[in-house]
Amino acid sequence: MAEASKSSRISSENGSTENQPALLLGRYYIDANAPIPQLDSPSARAFSVEDRRDIGRNLFALICTPELPPRLDVMDTLKGEHITGLLPLVEWGTVFWPPLGIKIMVVVYEYPMGGNVVDPDTEDTTRLAEYDIPRRIVEPLATAIAELSARGITHHSIRPDNVYFLDEECQKLVLGECVTGPPGFDQTALVEPMHRATSSPGGRGPGTTSDDLYALGVTIFIVVTGHSSLETHSDTDIIYQKFEQGSYASICGNMETHSSLTEVFRGLLCDDPDEQWDLEKLDIWINGRQQPPIKNISPHRAKEPFLFNGYEHTNPKALAYAFSRNVRDAIRSIKDDEFQRWLRHSVGETEMADAINNLLEVASYNKGTTQGRDDYLVFRTVLVLDSTGPLRFKDFSCYPNGFGTAIAVDLLRKGNAKAGIEVILLELFTYWIKAQPSARHISPELKIVFNQSRNFLKSKQLGYGIDRCLYKLNPGLPCQSSLISSECVISIEDLLPALDNVSANIDSKLIPIDRHIAAFIATRFDEDIQPHLRALASTKQQTSIVGMMSLLAFMQYKLHPEPLLGLAGWVGGLLGPVIDSYYSVTTRRKLERDIPKLVRKGSLPDLFEFVDDADLRRQDWDDYNEAKERYAEAHSEAVKIEDRLKEQLAEAETAGERVTAIISVLGTMVIVTMIFIGHYL
Amino acid sequence: MSETDPIQQQKITTYIWYAVILVCLTIVAFPTIMLVCVGMVPTAIATFIDRTEDKYSVYCIAGGNFCGVFVYLLELWGSHNNISAANTIFSEIFPLLIMYASAGFGLIIFMVLPPIISSVLQAIAQRRLNLLRVVQTKLVEEWGETLIPADPSTEKLAVDTKPE
């Protein structure tokens, strides 16, 4: 939905209004009014670029989709590198993009002057003859895959519309971009190995070099033949066909190719990982030497089909895929005796049937618990039917190393990642890892990441939860806080300047640190900020604001010595509860009077030190206690006087008479003495 | 009855002693006793009229009355100090007027002074109370209402000292 709206914004603003060119790193002018549709990637639109230092240089820029995590690590590795068979990545960075009015990730590439190897308009592939294939097509692309592999990278975006001629003479073939979205996100089921194709696009993970070689095989086939028999099919049909017939048979079908090409297609599109050609075998083929022929092994098929959702399945893996797509119907089929009978007698998988029977028994004993849930039972059944497939739970599916991007895509596009969160909380990944064949290496780091994510999810505190997982598992994902979503903040160093930039146009009553920003800082700020997060999460408003301020001040101290006037003003306006936490009105007034002076300095550490001065707080507390004692003393005395006054009111007359009597007696004595003295003197 | 007997006996003993002293004084200084008895009649009347336990009015009237009588006691003692001299004093209206008027003056003091003294005492206490309240108000203004203890007995005071 968000993507659609953004896309429509882009398209509606194209051509209709003149936009200022965007300037990347003070060097590359990206012209928002000059789109290059033929170089568009499914997740990134292409625009013309002018290099200010080299006007004659032919470049183009890909504008990334804001809600997709780009492959920053790959960008860093490929920037400035000249790898044979790979479109040179010149520069990348964030830039203010006028059509959207926000900062956005941009990747600048060299312009492929020869255009796409398969022109989508004319389907002109006649520029390549079959004898050119090994040297002109396969060799450069295989070299690129090998070079990337040597750097620990997979391309995972190899498809016919992403292969270009770099030169006008159409001699240099290169693979296009592979960084604007999650790995494999834009791949169709046609170019993905059957297992990866069953994963959600966001959860395919970086994959392996074998996956790149598979995609290369499909790409070469389409480049050579102009099309595939599956090209017009839906992704679901393609996946079913691959499971039923095998990749080679379903993609190449009955199309005739040169025998040497048949050999490479069989090798690259082999579904058996042990038999599939690797780079070494491909190199041998390029050099014209013979390879041992690949046995044409058809996928194991059941004697009788199993009807599910109107489709006759003859392969348990295809059925697993179908089950995972429809949990409600799947649970009925799983609980049906016919299903186990089919597995035992038609497929011949007795162990599989026993395992599923066991799962059903466990579920019936544990009704009302997780193990008795339908979606859990479907998850376990799917894993039994196809252990090498992705982890599939409800509508969520991914390979474990694509879990982060899958969560990001779900969260940013659907608005929630409930199924992904459940995968972690229910520890479903441990079942997936246990189910893998022993030959399949599972990185111990992966288990650590999952356990760490589980700990994050268990905590509801600010800086934890799904947001923390999101940034931990997606190092290239910009901060998704609504406060700074327009600033495309990827690096922690850019966070405070971004908050400073938006401070002028934001509701100043909002707290500058929300859940996303807290999680972003906790993930990318390489300092211990636990005390700040604990204070920030406090239910007491003043403690929370002190926590927020101390964290921002600490970050400015560590990262940005320069003044942040806007942010200081924003934070200064939120200090009311902190000032009110002082008991003395005089101190409060002094703070209120002096805060604007510090705000004008733009120094958060100074502001924090001033507002939360330990000595001042201690003095305030001591004086407060002293005042409390004085009040109590005054109160006690006042009560006594009041009581006495009440008594006096009741005995006023008597008291007056008593005093009068005393005065009279004394007066008499004085007068008598005076008379006596007066009489005798 | 048996408990009150010793008290009654003690009172009777006291009265007997008073009578003995009076008889002795009458024998020794009859003119003086005569002048005092006649001059102090208002005091005797006041003693009978004032039924209070403390008899504060008697102190006032007696004080004034004695001042008036004392002037003529001195005159008596300064003359022949005999019955004739005492009769001379009684035979004139002015000495009697002085003696009885001074008793009246004592009565006036007793009637006027007590309310005044009572008011003064209350005013002093009220002034101290006001001062304490001002101190409390200033403390609350500076340090806030949290100074006020959460004691129901202080509720009224808290309202009184609440800053505007």
The model's pLDDT over A652-674, given as tens digits with 9 standing for 90+, comes to 778 788 888 999 999 999 999 99
> Any CB–CB contact under 8 A between A25 and chain B?
no
Q: Is residue A199 in some structural domain?
A: yes
pLDDT at B157 over 80: no
Q: Which domain holds residue A234?
A: 112-299
Q: What mean pLDDT is predicted for residues A222-239? A: 79
Q: Could you give the CA distance from residue A626 to residue A68 in angstroms, rounded to a whole number?
A: 60
Nearest CB neighbour to B125, from listed A631, A644, A660: A644
Same domain for A334 and A483, yes or no, is: no
Same domain for A336 and A358, yes or no, is: yes
Whether residues B110 and A657 touch (CB distance < 8 A) is answered with: yes
Same domain for A185 and A227, yes or no, is: yes
Q: Is residue A11 in some structural domain?
A: yes
Q: Is residue A267 in some structural domain?
A: yes
Q: Could you give the CA distance from residue A572 to residue A604 in angstroms, rounded to a whole number?
A: 9
pLDDT digits (tens, 9 = 90+) for A530-539: 899 999 888 8
What sections of chain B are H helices per DSSP? Answer: 5-28, 30-39, 41-49, 56-78, 83-91, 93-143, 155-161
Contacts of B71 in chain A (CB under 8 A): 675, 679
Strands (E), A483-592: none
pLDDT top residue among A156 and B162: A156
Q: What mean pLDDT is predicted for residues A403-417? A: 90
pLDDT at A1 over 60: no
Nearest CB neighbour to A660, from listed B109, B125, B143: B109
Three-class DSSP category at A415: coil
Contacts of A660 in chain B (CB under 8 A): 56, 60, 109-110, 113-114, 117
Residue type, A18: E
Q: Is residue A437 in some structural domain?
A: yes
Same domain for A485 and A496, yes or no, is: yes
* β-strand partners of A89: A109
Q: Could you give the CA distance from residue B86 to residue B95 in angstroms, rounded to a whole number?
A: 11
Same domain for A499 and A602, yes or no, is: yes
Same domain for A83 and A188, yes or no, is: no
- Residue ending a domain, choose from A593, A612, A631: A612
Q: Could you give the CA distance from residue A635 to residue A551 in angstroms, rounded to a whole number?
A: 43
pLDDT at A261 over 50: yes
Q: Could you give the CA distance from residue A590 to residue A613 in angstroms, rounded to a whole number?
A: 13
Same domain for A146 and A252, yes or no, is: yes
Among the residue ranges A121-125, A405-409, A611-615, the one predicted with the least confidence is A121-125
Contacts of A678 in chain B (CB under 8 A): none
What sections of A184-315 are H helices per DSSP? Answer: 194-197, 209-225, 235-245, 247-252, 259-268, 279-286
CATH number, domain of A52, equals 3.30.200.20
pLDDT at B62 over 90: yes
pLDDT at A581 over 70: yes
pLDDT at B80 over 70: yes
Whether residues B142 and A632 touch (CB distance < 8 A) is answered with: no
Task: Pull the structure tokens for residue A448.
Answer: 């650590």
pLDDT at A18 over 80: no
Whether residues B109 and A675 touch (CB distance < 8 A) is answered with: no
Q: What is the pLDDT of residue B11?
A: 87
Q: Please, are residues B76 and B85 in contact by the beta-carbon 8 Å criterion?
A: yes
- Residue ending a domain, choose from A462, A487, A502: A462
Show which of residues 102-121 on chain B sit within 8 Å of chain A, judged by CB atoms. 106, 109-110, 113-118, 121
Q: What is the pLDDT of residue B121?
A: 78
Mutate to test the interface with B, among A588, A643, A646, A657 (most CBs of B within 10 A): A657
Q: Could you give the CA distance from residue A604 to residue A610 in angstroms, rounded to a whole number?
A: 10
Q: What is the pLDDT of residue A6?
A: 39
pLDDT digits (tens, 9 = 90+) for A181-223: 999 999 999 999 988 999 999 999 998 999 999 999 999 888 8
Q: Please, are residues A211 and A193 in contact by the beta-carbon 8 Å criterion?
A: yes
pLDDT top residue among A127 and B123: B123
pLDDT at A123 over 70: no
If you average pLDDT over every residue of chain B, what do you get? 84
Q: What is the pLDDT of residue A333?
A: 92
Nearest CB neighbour to B118, from listed A634, A655, A668: A655
Three-class DSSP category at A392: strand
Q: Could you give the CA distance from residue A309 to residue A323 in angstroms, rounded to a whole number?
A: 9
Highest mean pLDDT pick, A227-231, A290-294, A436-440, A638-642: A638-642
Contacts of A645 in chain B (CB under 8 A): 122, 125-126, 129
Same domain for A223 and A136, yes or no, is: yes
Q: Is residue A483 in some structural domain?
A: yes
> Any CB–CB contact under 8 A between A656 and chain B?
yes
Confidence band (pLDDT; 50, 70, 90) for A495?
A: very high
Confidence band (pLDDT; 50, 70, 90) for A17?
A: low
Same domain for A49 and A157, yes or no, is: no
Name which of A416, A503, A429 is nearest A466 in CA terms. Answer: A416
Percent share of chain A, pLDDT over 90: 50
Buried b (16+ CB within 10 A) or exposed e, A308-331: beeeebbbbbbbbbbbbbebeebb
Q: Is residue A31 in some structural domain?
A: yes
Q: What is the pLDDT of residue A8?
A: 36
Whether residues A642 and B66 touch (CB distance < 8 A) is answered with: no
- Dihedral angle of Cα A438, A441, A443, A449, to the nearest 10 degrees: -60
Whether residues A657 and B141 touch (CB distance < 8 A) is answered with: no
Nearest CB neighbour to A627, from listed B113, B147, B153: B147
Name which of A529, A466, A521, A475 is nearest A498 in CA terms. Answer: A521
Same domain for A491 and A423, yes or no, is: no
In this structure, which long-range contacts are made by residues A233-241, counting pairs with CB atoms below 8 Å and at least 24 apart in sequence?
A: A235/A188, A235/A189, A235/A190, A235/A197, A236/A189, A236/A325, A238/A188, A238/A189, A238/A190, A238/A197, A239/A189, A239/A194, A239/A197, A239/A198, A239/A318, A239/A321, A240/A311, A240/A313, A240/A318, A240/A321, A240/A322
Q: What mean pLDDT is predicted for residues A55-67? A: 92
Q: Is residue A631 in some structural domain?
A: no
Q: Is residue A619 in some structural domain?
A: no
Contacts of A653 in chain B (CB under 8 A): 114-115, 118
Q: What is the pLDDT of residue B3?
A: 53
- Residue ending a domain, choose from A87, A111, A135: A111
pLDDT at A360 over 50: yes
Q: What mean pLDDT is predicted for residues A477-501? A: 92
Give how many domains chain A has, as a whole number.
5
Q: Please, are residues A47 and A61 in contact by the beta-carbon 8 Å criterion?
A: yes
ipTM computed for the complex: 0.75
Whether residues B54 and A658 touch (CB distance < 8 A) is answered with: yes
pLDDT at B159 over 80: no
pLDDT at A5 over 50: no
pLDDT digits (tens, 9 = 90+) for A66-104: 888 999 999 999 998 899 999 999 999 999 999 888 999
Same domain for A39 and A175, yes or no, is: no
Show which of residues 66-85 on chain B sit within 8 Å of chain A, judged by CB atoms. 66-67, 70-71, 74, 78
- Give, to the nearest 10 degrees, the angle between helix A565-572 and helix A585-599: 160
Same domain for A563 and A494, yes or no, is: yes
Q: What is the pLDDT of residue B153?
A: 54
Confidence band (pLDDT; 50, 70, 90) for A120?
A: low
Task: Pull the structure tokens for residue A522.
Answer: 């906790």
Name which of A68, A73, A19 is nearest A48 in CA terms. Answer: A19
CA distance A583 to chain B (A): 5
> Any CB–CB contact under 8 A between B31 and chain A?
no
What's A46's DSSP letter? E
Three-class DSSP category at A92: strand
